[in-house]
Amino acid sequence: MQSFVVMQGQTYQEEKELGIIWSLQQDSSGKERHSRLRMIEVNEGDRLFHYVKGNIVAISVAKTGCQIAGKPSTMPNHEHTDDNGYLVELDYHELEVPVNVRSKFEEILPLLPIKYSPFQADANGNQGYLYPCNEELSIKLLEIIGDLNIYRVDEEQLELAIGTVLRTERNTFVPMITETEGELKTKIRLGQKKFRAGLIPLWNHKCVLCEIELPVLLRASYSKPWKDSTDVEKVDPHNGVLLCCNHDALYKNGFIAFDGQGRLHISSQIPEEDYEKYSIHPKMKIARNAENKPYFKWHKRNLFIE
């Protein structure tokens, strides 16, 4: 199962009523954009978060994979181009309480990928139609949606109003949310377990910087984080390094990095007089594998704080 964020705006109401999402194959300039081409990645059972004017207003489940189809006759023609497009049939679940992304952005921001993020750093939506939504971000959105739409106790529920109870019994929304969250958490747990099991022997079961060997203190530290990795990269044991919990925190937050040769780089935010406290020094070099090189370079380029 994959997750996506679809940026609908003025097309939302028509598409919801039709139970679809639909996108032209090309934009008004005649080019195929990544956010349109991503439509062909949608498969039956995938989940989509629907973003309209600053709010996530619905979740849907894909009933079909992507199909090539003309624009439905009931949809207005906002773009003067060929009507050939991509179509996916969906089962929409509209939220009673939409999620305002800006109001929850402190929780959302750390989980956004560096590339192809649906949201900008100022909490506005990016231009485009369909964006990938990694498992960690999906879980966070589901938690926020659940807090607003499932777990909030109001006076009507406290009084066990018959209408509320009946609506809850008929609602397919709650089991869909629960099933989605459970499947995503399982994927992360199994993926990270596989990643750790493959990574530990590559580094001789000890921290590459301080040589601590106590398993409870060791972390399989990602070079390219889960949120930015492909499905293959998420379980590739070369996409990381074995570090103690202290060095893991430094690496994860960009205070240290390794270059393609395995040399340690230390952020200028760590004073030289503190190097001994952290058990690091600039002449350190680790025995990296050739397969580590592209991941180390990605980490140094995107996460390291100079």
Please give the pLDDT value at position 77.
61
Residue matched to tokens 């008929």:
170
Q: Measured between alpha carbons, how far is 242 from 252 in angstroms, rounded to an integer?
A: 12
Query: What average pLDDT does range 257-285 have in this prediction?
Result: 95
Is the pLDDT at 272 greater than 80, yes or no?
yes
Residue matched to tokens 């590339």:
115
Cα 104 versus chain centre, distance? 15
Residue type for position 147:
D
Query: What average pLDDT does range 241-261 have in this prediction?
Result: 97
Please give the pLDDT value at position 26.
73
Query: What average pLDDT does range 247-263 have in this prediction?
Result: 97
Two tokens, residue 170: 């008929």
Domains of the chain: 3-133 (3.10.590.10), 194-302 (no CATH)
Do residues 49 and 139 touch, judged by C-beta distance below 8 A? no
Encode pLDDT of 203-234 as tens digits: 999 999 999 999 999 999 999 999 999 999 99
Count Cβ atoms below 10 Å from residue 2 Cβ, excluding itself.
18
Please give the pLDDT value at position 171.
66
Provide the percentage of residues in the chain whose pLDDT is more than 70.
Answer: 88
189-192 CB contacts, 8 Å cutoff, 24+ apart: 191/226, 191/234, 191/235, 192/220, 192/226, 192/234
* CA distance between the termini of the chain: 38
Q: Measured between alpha carbons, how far is 24 from 44 in angstroms, rounded to an integer?
A: 20
- Reference 256, options 269, 268, 265, 243; nearest CA is 265
Is the pLDDT at 160 greater than 60, yes or no?
no
- Reference 65, options 36, 35, 44, 90; nearest CA is 44
Please give the pLDDT value at position 80.
45
pTM: 0.86
Encode pLDDT of 89-131 as tens digits: 999 999 999 999 999 999 999 999 999 999 999 999 998 899 9
Q: Measured between alpha carbons, how far is 75 from 20 in angstroms, rounded to an integer?
A: 11
Do residues 92 and 60 touch, judged by C-beta distance below 8 A? yes
Q: Measured between alpha carbons, how far is 163 from 171 in angstroms, rounded to an integer?
A: 12
* Secondary structure (H, E, C), the chain: CCEEEEECHHHHHHHHHHCEEEEECCCCCCCCCHHHHHHHHCCCCCEEEEEECCEEEEEEEECCCCEEEECCCCCCCCCCCCCEEEEEEEEEEEEEEEEECHHHHHHHHHHCCCCCCCECCCCCECCCCEEECCHHHHHHHHHHHHHHHCCCCCHHHHCCCHHHHHHHHHCCHHHHHHHHHHHHHHHHHHHHHHHHHHHHHHHCCCCCCCCCCCHHHEEEEECCCHHHCCHHHHHCCCCEEEEEHHHHHHHHCCCEEECCCCEEEECCCCCHHHCCCCCCCCCCECCCCHHHHHHHHHHHHHCCCC
CB neighbours of 105 closer than 8 A, spacing ≥ 6? 119, 123
Cα 123 versus chain centre, distance? 15
Mean pLDDT of the chain: 90
Do residues 295 and 238 touch, judged by C-beta distance below 8 A? yes
Residue matched to tokens 């959302």:
108
